[in-house]
A = this chain, B = another copy of it.
Amino acid sequence: MRRDDDVHALVETVLGDGPGLRKVRAVARLISLVESDSPALREVARALAGRAGRAHIVGLTGSPGVGKSTSTSALVRALRAAGKTVGVLAVDPSSPFSGGALLGDRVRMSEHATDPGVIIRSMASRGHLGGLAAAAPQALRVLDAAGCDVILVETVGVGQSEVEVAGLADTSLVLLAPGMGDGIQAAKAGILEIGDLFCINKADRDGAATTRRELRAMLSLTERPDGAWKPPIVLTVATAGTGIDEVVARLDEHRAYLESSGQGRRRRLARARREIEAIVLGEVTRRFAVTSHGARLDVLAADVLGGGTDPYTAAEAVLDEIAAAAQADEI
């Protein structure tokens, strides 16, 4: 669709000084390229090597109904008031729709639409394995290289992959709301382990104190080494902006902790490792699908269905064929 020249021109614009609408458009274009898994993706990644790593990446997770969009918008406002540039990446791991369509939905964010210090992009992952895992880190790198001080990563929709999004972030912000059995749901979903900061939003409703008490009790059960970060709990009313400045302060504290403890570098290393692994697995799948082995897989699947073999024996056959093809330099 676009030549490499264009990718480089876009990257130059993204790396250019200061915010501006030209930069916002270049970021949008690069993220679209990344999302569509175009060959330009590699070119973008290459051009951005060493140009990212400055932004504070904050993941927002929470059940539908806790006020995620409103909280994101309130955070953007508070961060802007503090003089920071902000990127927002809304990811929907389960949606078949493209980023643009989703973006149209996000009416609450429209107040930031004309502020060149805020870049908002939505992103859907089409495929299953490796989809979000491969594209989202590149999109974050684009926003990072564009000079965003803070990047908020938000999941959209019901089929959200909390843990996956947490894996992309430096700091994981978990949103809850009073009632809804959220406390117990939290324990079940293992989000207690991933949360670096908890917000009980809609805290003007009945039950906020109870939810905080329950959450505190559950967090106290988690064993943490001496000097480890203790996830704070902040009560917010995002629609009124209440508590949002405290959230921003706690995010800054967590970032400082990440730096001083070395935990930040460890997380980023693990992330880079997972990213390479995801690309490798994606490539193995892709190469396999484009060779004659793709059809072979259909035959094996039918054989499993018919009871002639089991999936492990079938997988062994595939692995043998991959090795043979590698030896013959076919893949």
* Given A63-B64, A190-B97, A297 contacting B276 (CB threshold 8 A): yes
Does A210 interact with chain B (Cβ within 8 Å)?
Answer: no
Binary interface profile of A, 290-330, with partner B (CB < 8 Å = 1, else 0)?
00000001101110111111111111001100110011010
In the assembled complex, which residues on chain B have CB atoms less than 8 Å from the CB atom of A310? 42, 45-46, 48-49
Does A102 interact with chain B (Cβ within 8 Å)?
Answer: yes
Give residues of chain A (57-97) contacting chain B, Cβ–Cβ below 8 Å: 61-65, 92-97
In the assembled complex, which residues on chain B have CB atoms less than 8 Å from the CB atom of A283? 315, 319
Does A256 interact with chain B (Cβ within 8 Å)?
Answer: no
| Minimal Cβ-Cβ distance residue in B for A47 | B310
**Within the complex, what minimum Cβ distance (angstroms) separates A280 from chain B?**
5
Contact across chains for A276 and B305 when beta carbons are under 8 A apart: no
Contact across chains for A269 and B189 when beta carbons are under 8 A apart: no
Q: How many copies does the complex hold?
A: 2
Does A113 interact with chain B (Cβ within 8 Å)?
Answer: no
In the assembled complex, which residues on chain B have CB atoms less than 8 Å from the CB atom of A102? 188
**Within the complex, what minimum Cβ distance (angstroms) separates A57 from chain B?**
13
In the assembled complex, which residues on chain B have CB atoms less than 8 Å from the CB atom of A185? 64, 157-158
How far is it, in angstroms, between the C-alpha of A241 and the C-alpha of B182 when the chains are bound? Answer: 25
The SS class assigned to the A binding surface is helix
Does A186 interact with chain B (Cβ within 8 Å)?
Answer: yes
In the assembled complex, which residues on chain B have CB atoms less than 8 Å from the CB atom of A188? 92, 95, 102, 105, 156-158
Does A268 interact with chain B (Cβ within 8 Å)?
Answer: yes
In the assembled complex, which residues on chain B have CB atoms less than 8 Å from the CB atom of A273? 297-298, 300-301
Contact across chains for A190 and B64 when beta carbons are under 8 A apart: no
Contact across chains for A158 and B162 when beta carbons are under 8 A apart: yes
Contact across chains for A311 and B159 when beta carbons are under 8 A apart: no
In the assembled complex, which residues on chain B have CB atoms less than 8 Å from the CB atom of A96? 190, 193
Does A32 interact with chain B (Cβ within 8 Å)?
Answer: no
Does A285 interact with chain B (Cβ within 8 Å)?
Answer: yes
Q: Which of B61, B182, B284, B311 contacts A281 (CB 8 A)?
A: B284
Binary interface profile of A, 263-277, with partner B (CB < 8 Å = 1, else 0)?
001001110110111
Contact across chains for B191 and A158 when beta carbons are under 8 A apart: yes
* Given A157-B185, A182-B64, A327-B327, A311 contacting B162 (CB threshold 8 A): no
Does A51 interact with chain B (Cβ within 8 Å)?
Answer: yes
In the assembled complex, which residues on chain B have CB atoms less than 8 Å from the CB atom of A272? 300-302, 304-305, 311
Contact across chains for A51 and B297 when beta carbons are under 8 A apart: no
Does A41 interact with chain B (Cβ within 8 Å)?
Answer: yes
In the assembled complex, which residues on chain B have CB atoms less than 8 Å from the CB atom of A218? none
* Given A315-B279, A318-B280, A157 contacting B189 (CB threshold 8 A): yes
How far is it, in angstroms, between the C-alpha of A163 and the C-alpha of B164 when the chains are bound? Answer: 15
Contact across chains for B312 and A41 when beta carbons are under 8 A apart: yes
In the assembled complex, which residues on chain B have CB atoms less than 8 Å from the CB atom of A243? none
